[in-house]
């Protein structure tokens, strides 16, 4: 079972992040959280990681419908999308299925 819907963009990391934000917005999702994994792991563990960003996105209409069907679905909210580069100049953008 695949957990994610993924598309690989022929783009820089920054461009892929912007395109992911745009695609989410076009589908009615707003960005609630943003986690810079590179900065977090560097600060907490002194580990060097490539660019890696996790976006927490929410479509209020879909979230309301999901919570109405199954209260426990909140464990999976907000929906997450991630971007992490693959050299040279390719960046997968993934969202929870």
Taken in order of first residue, the domains within the chain and their CATH numbers are: 17-96 (3.30.310.70)
User: Do residues 5 and 95 touch, judged by C-beta distance below 8 A?
Assistant: yes
User: Do residues 89 and 5 touch, judged by C-beta distance below 8 A?
Assistant: no
Q: Half-sphere exposure (CA, 13 Å, Cβ side) for 95?
A: 16
- In a structure prediction context, what are the per-residue pLDDT tens digits for the chain, which is 97 residues long? 677 888 899 999 999 999 999 999 999 999 999 999 999 999 999 999 899 999 999 999 999 999 999 999 999 899 999 998 877 777 778 876 6
pLDDT of residue 85: 85
């Amino acid at each position: 079972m695949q957990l994610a819907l993924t598309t690989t963009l022929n783009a820089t990391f920054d461009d892929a992040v912007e395109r992911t934000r745009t695609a989410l917005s076009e589908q009615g999702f707003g960005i609630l959280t943003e986690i810079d994994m590179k900065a977090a792991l560097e600060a907490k563990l002194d580990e060097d990681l490539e660019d890696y960003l996790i976006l927490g996105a929410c479509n209020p209409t879909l979230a309301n419908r999901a919570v109405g069907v199954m209260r426990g679905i909140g464990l999976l909210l907000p929906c997450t999308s991630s971007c992490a580069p693959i050299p040279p100049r390719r960046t997968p953008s993934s969202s929870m299925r």
